[in-house]
Structure 1
Amino acid sequence: MLTGESANVESNRYLRVFRPGQSEISWVRSCLKWPFQHAGVALTSDDKLSIETLRLVFPNACGLKYRANGGYNYISFDNNGFAKPLGGWGDKDYEVLVEPPIFVPRAPDPIRTVYAFLDSFVLVGGLSMNSLLICLIRTKTATGMEIYQKLLYMSCFMDLIVSFWTFIVQPIPCTDRGYRTIMMNGVFRKSSQPIRYAVYLTWIQLMV
């Protein structure tokens, strides 16, 4: 792993970078000439790039390379950061070399099966109970109480949506390098990162 001393970021110049193994989102952006994700990586006053600055965007970053003459050029690194490449930083697309994480959160298969069963049970129970409540609200609400009827409907529908997204995500709490995190065990666990992130973010927003 490369180590570097933090540098004082004084320049307003920025470097375009993108994730290794372009995701669907960055691939579409590159085809349409849109700015890449995480485009704001600042250079220092002496035209170097601090490894700490790069790791603010890519936590496991350990190197940079860019395409040139049909191959790749790797940017040299010292304790003060990445040196300016020949010809300057320019308008190049830089690939970030990322070290694999020390520990990838993964629950044992029996635990994944138990969580899948529990989330399925919660979904079925939520559908049954809320359907019953909706029927009772519709048949038992007194005349003149329509506004309260609508509020109760909204509460039931929101509970149904949360139950559905919990089944989609199937969250499993685990520990990653001392930090508490949540692993997805649901339908989209093998999807690409942008899709999984969108699903997980939707679930978090609903829970909040």
Structure 2
Amino acid sequence: MERSFRFLIENFDIISYLEDRGIEYRTSGKNVSKGWVEINCLWCDDPSFHLGISPQGWMNCWRCGPKGSVVNLIRAVDRCGERGAYRILLQYQKPNVDFTLPQKSVHTFDGDGILPKEAKLPLPPLHREYLRKRGFDPDYIVRKYGIRACSVTGRYKLRIVIPVVVGGEVVNFTARDVTGKAHARYKSCPSDRAKVPLKCCVYNIDTV
């Protein structure tokens, strides 16, 4: 059920659903990210379209925080349980969708287009020393969490790239500066490339 739910969530036609329910939405304008749909949040006193719905069907309210997937929206709007939400997900699938469910992937950490192209192995001495100073074994961290290193060029230069994995699949990443000199210590995957927004992820959830 979890795999099929996830597949249906990613292919849910949110625009058709909102229009059929008479829910006002925005797809462009102030603070609307590319590919996202914004509506008034159902979970807080929101007067101005603060609930963002990502292209992958995950929600985040910029006032009261993450709200999970569109399943929660369906359950709130239609006042139904999980079975009812499942039926509605089926009803509002985008056309020409291949309903063959993907096989469960393994932890290859290749990123499938998510990780920066410049993120590579082996870790340079600077990156290894950064990890050692914080009490980590660099080789173990690479094997366990699939981290990569960006060297001296690119948007993520001189950073350790940390994949965020859900269900064996890289869905996002964050990149930590190793010099201590960068203005921003962390840089994350752009929202239009991420499969799941970072605010909707729990790091290392696959090992729980």
Larger radius of gyration: 1
Q: TM-score, normalised by structure 1?
A: 0.24
> Whose helix proportion is higher, 1 or 2?
1
Q: TM-score, normalised by structure 2?
A: 0.24
